[in-house]
Amino acid sequence: MKPDSEEFGTPTTLGKRCNAGAIAALAGGVKTWFRLAGMAAGLFLAAGQPALGQSSEPILRLEVGTHNAGVFSIALDPSNRILVTGSEDKTVRIWDISGSGELLRVLRPPVGEGEQGHIFAVALSPDAGTVACGGRTGSPQQKDACVYLFDRATGALTRRLGGLPGWVQSLAYTSDGKFLAAVTGEGGGRADWAGMRLYRLPDYTVAAEDNDYSDFIKAVVSDPSGSRIATAGYDGFIRLYDLSSLTNQDASSPRALSPVSKIRPPSGQRPWGLAFSPDGTRLAVGYEHTAAVDVLGVKGNALEHAYSPDTSGVKGGTVMDFRTVAWSPDSRFLFAAGSYRSKGDYLVRKWEDGGQGTFRNVPVEADLAALHILPLKQRGVVFAARDGSFGVLNDRNEATLLGPQAIPIYRNLYDGFRLSSDGAGIEFAYKRGGQAPAVFEVNERRLTDAASGLWKGLKANVSFQAPLTEGLAVSDWKNSLAPKLKGKHDAE
């Protein structure tokens, strides 16, 4: 793994330089673009090899003031003022969301080449003093994947919890602050990478573990009392664990822990998200690639299917899902989100009567699927999405994005991508539907957006037209990261 370097430049300037560079490469001609794409693909393939040792060489990172990749996990402090976000961009960020979303601190776990350092899971201790994070961290190949602990106030890396069998997928502190639970796994049914481990606070010794999983484990949550946790795995099962017997367990001899209840809910094959109701008597389950939600009854140490909220009106087959779920603090509302969208808008579905009543679909401003939602004390939710955005949906069904958006969304921007007659100017847009347009001038190496004072004059003096594509034999380009020219990724 390699440490991050010091950042340089301003967020706005650096973000624009990144996009300007990409557009300049494109403007050099189709053949040049494909050559560069082939070189980039080679670099990505090389970077995908696992880092085999420590190195003092820095890895340069662009700091754009926010996440520039998907936000997979979020955590809230009890006051709902502090939000922690963990991202595929290999950073963990701490925000004050009492206002418009002020960035307080960036935490940078050790990283490596390629995917080493992607963060899939964050958790905040009940006293809000410690941030736990993990993902593609450590080395599962050597049975030493890990969780990193940071001091939230100072940003100091305080501890590494190693020896885990697979990539860290989810983390949860128990509500009573006695344990940290971690679950691991990897896609493709690698049973040897899957497991659940419990660390006892305050010293984070291993108290118990369960390695009897046959597939990827996606979620772990604590019930309101802290005496039970539940996990969701791609083997299709929800498992419930009773932690009461661990209270006085000798920390020097971690024990094997078996679930007290194990159930396969009826509506989906890949349970993704879990949420206990505030009184701990119900457990909501969301699924990947399935537009369904189940609610399980929790009766003592037994799980049973109670009901399934109305998910009618969802079209799109396995493309649509409700993978992440949350309850309002009074249990009146049940929320679910994921890849469900309609007319281009990603939606949060909000049911009355804890999921047994009518529902409302509420649009949020994210451009890609929601990956995690958490309840707010005022009956709303905070959400995070695959496009790197995060925001708040309040109790009046009003969604507000917090923090700047750093990832341009070019999807379906067919009419908004145009060239000047001499090929030296490229017009595009940062958002769906041609919103937030901009022009890159190749000769001047200048990027001008609609907010600039130069915009009106530029548009008045330069004519932009759709590019000529007939006869180029370009294929596999629509919504794809691997376009081909004459059947090849590299024009050569």
What is the reported pLDDT for 131? 98
For the segment 337-351, the average pLDDT, to the nearest whole number, is 94
β-strand partners of 446: 441
- Axis crossing angle, helix 11-27 with helix 30-47, rounded to the nearest 10: 120
For residue 319, give the 3-state DSSP assignment.
helix
Q: C-alpha angle with apex 72: 155 to 82, nearest 5 degrees?
A: 45
| Chain segment 409-466, per-residue pLDDT in tens | 777 777 778 899 888 999 988 877 778 889 999 998 999 988 888 898 888 888 888 8
1 pLDDT higher than 70: no
Superfamily of domain covering 71-402 = YVTN repeat-like/Quinoprotein amine dehydrogenase (2.130.10.10)
Nearest partner of 225 among 207, 239, 210, 243, judged by Cα? 243
Q: Where are the domains positioned within the chain?
A: 11-60+408-485, 71-402
Q: How confident is the model at residue 8 (pLDDT cuts 50, 70, 90)?
A: very low
Among residues 104, 111, 136, 143, the alpha carbon closest in space to that of 121 is found at: 136
Q: Could you give the CA distance from residue 169 to residue 134 in angstroms, rounded to a whole number?
A: 7
Note the Cα 298 to chain centre separation in Å: 28
Instruction: For residue 254, give every residue at least 6 positions away whose Cβ sits within 8 Å of its Cβ, in sequence order, or none.
Output: 205, 206, 207, 208, 209
**pLDDT (0 to 100) of residue 70:** 95
Q: What is the pLDDT of residue 5?
A: 29
Report pLDDT for 252. Answer: 62
The string of pLDDT tens digits covering residues 96-110 is 999 889 999 999 999
Could you give the strand order of the β-sheet that contains 390-393, starting from the edge strand earlier in sequence? 370-375, 381-385, 390-393, 399-402
Strand partners, 106: 93
**In the chain, % of residues over pLDDT 90:** 64
Q: Which of 250-264, 318-332, 448-462, 476-490 shows the lowest per-residue confidence on average (mean pLDDT)?
A: 476-490
Distance CA 48, CA 53 (A): 15
Q: How far is it, in rounded angstroms, from Cα 407 to Cα 436? A: 12
> Which of 27-36, 171-180, 369-378, 382-391 is the least confident region?
27-36
The CA–CA distances, whole Å, from 162 to 132, 148, 165, 168, 461 equal 13, 9, 9, 11, 61
Residues 293-326 have pLDDT tens digits of: 999 999 999 999 999 999 999 988 888 999 999 9
What is the average pLDDT value for the chain, to the nearest integer? 85
By the 10 Å C-beta count (0-12 exposed, 13-18 middle, 19+ buried), 481 is classed as exposed
